Every structure is written in structure tokens, then in C-alpha cells.
Amino acid sequence: MESIDIGVEKPFECTIVHRLNRFVVEIQVASSLHRACLNNTGRLKEYLFNGSIGFCTKNSRPLKTAYRLFAIREGDLGTIIDTQLQMKTFEKALATGLIPWLDGCIILRRNVRLGNSVIDYLLAYGEKQIYLEVKSAVMREGRYAMYPDCPSVRGRRHIRQLIERRATGGAAAILFIAGLPNVEAFKPNRAGDPELCDFLIEAQNTGVDIRAIAIVYNPRDSSMYLYCHDLPVEL
């Protein structure tokens, strides 16, 4: 496993009480209740239940929430549910050459317009430009990391746009970040959104590059780890 330092500041454990809405979770720190912001719009039912143990940081400036929840304990490790943290980990791994299939690529722009969508990254590989959309895969089924855990109109739109990009000769890719420990492959969750899964198959058949990586949080040293740079994808 490769350690990736992205500067998570003074993380500590908390206990999940319940999710208040898409962006706020009530947590218990010591004997006090607090609100923590959550950067993940998935349902996350297998993580955000009363009594589960999370990892959070204290917000450094005044916000509506005092804390930020970024991971949930799973055994001795932590599932990274914060999508921004997942993407920061990916960016650091890319910049330090830890993802061989992206060797030589650099980030030209973030949040770039493509048709009627905003795609996460525009990469450059020499003269070639690649639109790359990143999705968080933290749902588990046995040895598989999965996405999505609920219907995603936005996700369908992104994939459809990348299919159109590839069909006109441009380069396009989708990266699934499996932010949980001990997975061996990625597969789409057909029960969550069957139409999106069909779009992924169409994307692969059109030539969109579909990849996955696996990362995990280790509370022993408060670090993120890349433990698979090219996780098998099974569509």
C-alpha cells in the first residue's frame, strides 16, 4: 500500500447518532452532541446508522456545523465517505506517479463544461485531452465496491455526455474510487440505477475508458492509502 499525505488535520473518533439531511449528520463527541457536515449525497445506509464509529475533523472557521465527517470505521481501517477527500487523494496519487495507467497525464482544469454537464477533470497527455469523470464507490457487496446506491440522474447525464464525446473521436474516461477496505473489484449496482448501468456498458462499448482505484483511511497514522491502482472493473 502507498501512503498519500493530503494533510488531514487532527482527526478523531466520533459516534454517529443519525443523518439529519443530505449534508448534515448528528454525531456524539465525548458526551456532547454536535452537527457534522457530510460531503456525499449517496444514501450511505450501511454507514450512517446509530452507533457506528466515524472519523471527523473540527472545522477551522465558523460554519453551520462544527465538524466534518470524512470516514467510517470498518475493522481497523476506515471507509472514506467524503468525496472531496477521495478526489484530493486521487489528485495526489496522480501527481506523484502512483497510477501507472495515467502516467504522463496532468490536470489541465477542474470542473470543466462538456455539453450540458460539468465534468470533474480535463487531463492532458501530450497533445491529447481527456475528459475524466470521477464517481465515489463506497457501497459493498462481498468483495465488490459498487456505485450507485440510489438513482442518479446526474450520473446518467455525465456518462451520456462522455459517450457523445467518445463517439465524435474525443478521449473520455470514468474513474470509480472505491474508498473502502478489502475489495477486489468494482461493479455497478444495477439495483440502485439500472439505466445508469446500461449507460456504463454502452460507454465501454463506445470506447470510454472505465477504471477504478481503491483507497482507504488508516486511523493508526491518520493517513490515506492507495492499495490498488487499477482495480478490476466488471460490468
In this prediction, residues 26-40 reach a mean pLDDT of 94
Residue 224 has pLDDT above 80, yes or no: yes
Q: Kindly state the average pLDDT of the residues 184-198.
A: 97
| Host domain of residue 215 | 83-228
Whether residue 188 is found in the same domain as residue 131: yes
Query: What share of the chain has pLDDT > 70, as a percent?
Result: 99
Note whether residue 164 is domain-resident.
Answer: yes
| Within a domain: 128 | yes
Quick: pLDDT tens for 65-80. 989 999 999 999 999 9
Same domain, residue pair 18 and 132: no
- Domain end residue (candidates: 59, 76, 93): 76
Cell of 100: 501507472
Of 3-12, 64-73, 126-135, the least confident: 3-12
What is the structure's pLDDT at 94?
97
What is the reported pLDDT for 62?
65
Q: How far is the CA of 50 from the CAs of 27, 29, 156, in angstroms?
A: 9, 13, 32
CATH number of 148's domain: 3.40.1350.60
**pTM, to two decimals:** 0.95
Distance CA 79, CA 215 (A): 8
Q: How many domains, in total, are found in the chain?
A: 2
Q: What average pLDDT does this structure show over 106-117? A: 95
Q: What is the mean pLDDT of residues 104-115?
A: 96
